[in-house]
Every structure is written in C-alpha cells, then in structure tokens.
Amino acid sequence: MKRLFSNYPIFQPFLAVALFWLVAASDAHAQGKDSTRIPVMSAIKLDTVQVGPQAVDTKGWLLTNKDIEIELGGAVHNLYNFKFDKAEKQFRSLRRRYPAHPMAYFLLGLATWWKMMPSNLEDTRYDKLFLAYMDTAEAKATALYRADNANYEASFFLSAAYGFKARFHSERHDWRQATVNSKKALEFLAKSRQANDLSVEFLFGEGLFNYYAVWIGEQYPWLRPILFFFPRGNRLQGLTQLRTVGQNATYTGPEANAFLLLIYSDEREKKTATALRIAERMNAEYPDNSRFERDYAKLSFAEGNFAACETSCRSMVNKITQGLPGYEAQTGRAATYILGWLMQHRHNNAAEARNYYQRCIVFSESAGHTQGGTIYSPIKTWPSWQLPTRTRPWPSATTRWCSKAVSGAATPTKRPLRFCAVTASKARQGVARRGKNA
C-alpha cells in the first residue's frame, strides 16, 4: 500500500527533465556521493557567490514588497483552496496597478494551472489560456530584464514562466518545446539564484533542481546524455531548501510542500509517514483543494489510518455532489474505490462495497481510465463477486494490486495477479450479471 504515488505524471521521465525549470508559485549523503556524475555545463553555473541585500537595487520589485505580500497572502490562499474567482479578482487588481510587471500575469497563469491539476493535467480546456498568461509574464519579465540585466526578480519570473511552459509541453508530449523551455529556465535560474539572500521565494527553483538533478540521473540512467548539459545537484541540500521554502515562503511555499509530498511518497525516499504529515497539514490549510485532500486520503490509506481515510473520502464524495471546483472524476475514482475497499474489509458491508466499486467504474470511464486494469481489480479478483469474509482473507498480492489501483499505478505489465484487462462495458456487464445472480 505504500507505493500509491509511483504513477503520478510528475515522475514520468520527460516530465522530470522538464522539471529542471524549477519554478515558483503552482518525491545522509554528501555532494560527492549524491550528485550525478555528469560534467557541468560551463555556461550555467550554480556555484556563484550569493549577494547580500545591500548590494542589489530592489526598487520596483514586488516579491520583496511586504505590503504586496500581506495584500496577496489571502489571494494565494484562495488560489490553493480552489476559490479561483476570489483569487483571480485580486490578481487582476494587482495587474491594473502594475501593468508592466509579470507577477500578476504569472499568478493568473498559476491559477489556471491548478484548475488542470485535479485531472492530473489531462484537462486540455485551459491550455490556451494558460499559455497566454505565461507568454505574457515572459514578455513583461523580458522587458524588465533587458532594461536591467541585474534585475534578479525578472530572472526569477523568466525562470518560472519558462519552467511551467516546459512542464506543460512535456505533459502534452511536445518534447522539443519542453527541452527548449527547460534550457531557458535553467539559464535564468542561475541568474536569479544570486538573489537567494533577498527572499526565500528565490530558493524554490534551486531546491527543486538540486533534488531532481540527482533523482533523474539515478532513476533514468538512459537520460544521462541529456543531463550532460545540466549542472550537478545535491539531494539533501535540495530537500533542505524545499523544506525551508515550504515553511517560510508566501508565494512558493504551497508549491514546495506539494513537491515534498510527492518526493517523500516516492519509492526512493519511502517516507510515507512524513508525506502523510505534510498532506494532513495541507489538507487542513486548504480543505477545498481536491488534490491535497485526495493525497491525504491515499496516504492515510497507505498508512492504515482507515478512520481518517474514510472521513476524507466521504468528504470528497459529498463535494463532488455539491459540484465544488476541482472535485471531479479523478477524485471520485480514488474516493469511491477506497470506500469500496473499506466497506468490504473494515465494515463487512457487501452491498455498500459493490455500490462504491460500481461508482468507481463510472468515474473511471468519465476520466477515460478504462485500460490497464485500474478499475477492474474489484471485479476480476472474485469470479462470482463473492466478497471475502474473515474466514477468507484478502490475499496479500491482491492487496498490493488494489492499492496500486487506487492511484492508477497498476499496469498490465506490473500487476501481481493475472487479471484480465477488459473494456469498461464488459466490466459493467459482468457486474450486472453477478448482481442478478447474487
């Protein structure tokens, strides 16, 4: 049950390469032991001397403006709590007052990005709007950078905009655009790094790079020819930087915590309990963020905290019924499957279990997940739809398979039991037949 996040899109290889952008506000070794053994590209150096606040002219910067930070604190909270209308209203107000600054456009693009997150970025309705905001943020930041190439805030927003575009294009399988934008993001990351001492916000990108530069090299050795063109990373330093950002940053803090949640849930770190604490905190702070609530439910399930898991899953089902933003098929698929499992194995309620499993099938069809066995395990495990009893315990292999099914991690080549990969229509017909014979 502890590998629920192994199939998250963020860990796909090309998407991981695109993560070298290392963006801002949207799983003990030393450097020599943890770094990938890849030559550093001379044009991109991350070991430059950081400058003190007195050495930089920050006039006109918004990231270091405390009044703006206080004003936008509520807007950022609304964004991550999926109160998009309220957040966007506040961002548009900022845009009216600072039309030449990239910050408002970037935050509007970030809000659009999070509208896609509940679907695991599969929802393409917001593609054009997202790119329009990020392109505009890029244009505004470029103008500031050309006017002053020591404007590290402009470099920061350029790195962020290029980075988000890189990740977006990798999700859409446009590898050329993903690579081009990743390279540009890294170049401006190296420049913006010089302002790390000015604000913790600037530290986010470097933290992501330090961790994933090592992670990718170890996880995907065949990508090392690509990694040749990137600097080395440092896993432990990256984790420390992300924790610092998550605890202290206003704009990038939620993004840092979201990445820490995924990192600690990954098979390399295997710190599901740590990930659960982060998910619990994020779910408490942003209770209407379906992604955080879904992660909290899955991690509670993985850790055997079934009472909290059931409460969270019922909450998600209720919010789907209410039509809250972000509560849709992907969320319903996970919530109803877990509830079905709990009804079957914790409450011995076969009728309720069957009901939730059938609803899981409907949500899976709606989300387009009808291949790979991700919705069929509760149907194909028992040929006569006989739910296990205490005298017929759930096989351990099946338990591992079904825990993968919750997160969509199971595939035809990795499933522990030889379930048939059938079409959704056949699965539904099988349920109907068994229901008549029950």
- Are 263 and 278 within one domain? no
- Across 52-56, average pLDDT: 51
Residue finishing a domain among 250, 270, 290: 270
pLDDT score, position 370:
74
Rounded-to-integer distance, Cα 251 and Cα 249, Å = 6
**Residue keyed to tokens 């509760």:** 378
> Do 300 and 245 have their domain in common?
no
Angle between helices 175-192 and 203-219 (to 10 degrees): 130
| Distance between CA atoms of residues 377 and 371, nearest Å | 12
Q: Is residue 2 assigned to a domain?
A: no
Between CA 406 and CA 329 the distance in angstroms is 13
234 and 313 fall within a common domain: no
What are the Cα distances from residue 313, in Å, to 5, 295, 326, 342, 348? 17, 11, 14, 10, 18
39 phi, psi to nearest 5 deg: -60, 145
191 and 87, same structural domain?
A: yes
Q: What is the mean pLDDT of the chain?
A: 77
Last residue of a domain, one of 214, 247, 270: 270
Domain count of the fold of the chain:
2
Q: pLDDT tens for residues 353-387?
A: 999 999 999 999 888 877 655 444 433 333 232 33
Contact partners, residue 299, CB within 8 Å, separation at least 6: 4, 265, 272, 275, 276, 279
Contact 123, 325 (CB under 8 A): no
How far, in Å, CA of 246 to CA of 214, rounded?
21
Residues 326 and 374 in one domain: yes
The angle, 0 to 180 degrees and rounded to 10, between the axes of the packed helices 175-192 and 152-171 is 160
Rounding to the nearest 10 degrees, give the CA dihedral for residues 205, 210, 215, 221.
110
pLDDT at 409 > cutoff 80: no
pLDDT band of residue 305 (cuts 50, 70, 90) is: very high
- Answer whether residue 132 is part of any domain: yes
Residues 245 and 280 grouped into a single domain:
no
- What separation in angstroms does the CA of 355 have from each of 116, 186, 369? 28, 49, 19
C-alpha 297: how far from its chain's center? 15
Q: Which of 56-70, 138-152, 272-286 has the lowest mean pLDDT?
A: 56-70
For 179, the token pair is 């690579």
Q: Rounded distance, CA 225 to CA 88, Å?
A: 41
pLDDT number for residue 427: 38
In a shared domain, residues 230 and 339: no
Q: Residue 89 domain-assigned?
A: yes
Does 104 map to a domain?
yes
Distance, in Å, from the CA atom of 374 to the CA atom of 7, rounded to the nearest integer, reads 11
| Helix 84-97 / helix 103-116 crossing angle, nearest 10 deg | 160
Write down the pTM of the prediction: 0.76
Give residue-wise pLDDT tens across range 109-138.
999 999 999 998 999 999 999 999 999 999
Q: Is 54 contained in some domain?
A: yes
**1 within a domain of the structure (yes/no):** no
Model confidence at 41: pLDDT above 70: no
**Domain C-terminal end among 247, 270, 293:** 270
pLDDT at 20: 46
pLDDT, average across residues 248-267: 94
Residue 4 inside a domain? The answer is: no
Do 239 and 305 belong to one domain?
Answer: no
Q: 300 and 256 in one domain?
A: no
pLDDT at site 371: 67
User: Which residue's structure tokens are 């899955």?
Assistant: 298
**What is the rounded CA–CA span in Å between residue 394 and residue 371?**
24
DSSP state letter for 1: -
> Quick one: average pLDDT of 8-24?
40
Same domain, 215 and 70: yes
189 and 279 belong to one structural domain:
no
Residues 195 and 298 in one domain: no
173: left (phi over 0), alpha (psi -120 to 50) or beta: left
Task: Specify the pLDDT at position 25.
Answer: 31
Residue 3, in any domain of the structure: no
Q: For residue 240, give both structure tokens.
A: 């420390």
Which residue segment(s) compose the domain that 182 sits in?
9-270
